[in-house]
Amino acid sequence: MIKQPIINTIQHVDFQAPNKINLTDNIPLFWLKEDAGMTFKLDLVFKTGSIDADVLRLNAAFSLLFAGTPLKKANEINNEIDLHGGFYNVEVGLEESAISVFGLVMNFEKILKPIFEAFYNADFPLDEFEQLIKARKQKFNVNQQKVSYIARRAFMESLFEGTSFGRKITIDDFDKFNRLDLLNIYHNLIIKSFDFATLIGDVEENQIQDLSQSLKRLTDNADYNINSDFAPDRLNHKVIYLEKENSVQSAIRMGKILFNKSHEDYISFSFMNTLFGGYFGSRLMKEIREEKGYSYGIGSGLVQLRNSGYFFISSEVKKEHRQATIDAIDNEVHKLQNIVVEKDELMMVKNYMLGQLLRGSDGPFAMMDRFISTYKFGLDLAYFDQWIEKINGMSPELVQEMAKKYLSNDNMLIVSAG
Q: Which of residues 120-179 bind another protein (CB under 8 A)?
A: 131, 134-135, 138, 141-142, 144-147
Q: Which is nearer to another protein, 2 or 235 (CB)?
A: 2
How many other C-beta atoms are found inside a 10 Å radius of the C-beta of residue 390? 15
Q: Which is nearer to another protein, 92 or 147 (CB)?
A: 147
Q: Which is nearer to another protein, 259 or 387 (CB)?
A: 387
Q: Tell whether residue 21 is a contact of another protein (CB under 8 A).
A: no
Give CA angle at 416 (415, 418), nearest 5°.
155
Q: HSE, CB side, 13 Å, CA atoms: give it for residue 339.
A: 12
How many other C-beta atoms are found inside a 10 Å radius of the C-beta of residue 18? 21
Q: Which is nearer to another protein, 36 or 197 (CB)?
A: 36
Residue 239's beta-bridge partner residues? Answer: 414
Q: How far is the CB of 358 from another protein (least distance, A)?
A: 5
**How far apart, in Å, do the first and last CA atoms of the chain sit?**
49
Q: Tell whether residue 362 is a contact of another protein (CB under 8 A).
A: yes
Residue 318's beta-bridge partner residues? Answer: 249
Question: What's the order of all strands across the beta sheet hosting 97-104?
Answer: 19-22, 28-32, 194-201, 39-46, 97-104, 87-92
Among 19, 26, 37, 164, binds another protein (CB under 8 A): 37
Q: Tell whether residue 7 is a contact of another protein (CB under 8 A).
A: yes
Q: How far is the CB of 268 from another protein (least distance, A)?
A: 19
Q: Which is nearer to another protein, 52 or 316 (CB)?
A: 316
Q: How far is the CB of 25 from another protein (least distance, A)?
A: 33
CA torsion, ordered 29, 34, 38, 39, to nearest 10 deg: -40
CA torsion, ordered 82, 83, 86, 89, to nearest 10 deg: -20
Q: Which of residues 272-291 bind another protein (CB under 8 A)?
A: 279-281, 289-291
Q: Which of residues 64-123 bind another protein (CB under 8 A)?
A: 74-75, 78-79, 82-87, 102-104, 107
Q: How far is the CB of 356 from another protein (least distance, A)?
A: 7
Q: Per CB under 8 A, which region of 215-223, 262-270, 334-342, 345-353 contacts another protein?
A: 345-353
- β-strand 249-257 against 309-318: which pairing, if any? antiparallel
Q: Tell whether residue 308 is a contact of another protein (CB under 8 A).
A: no
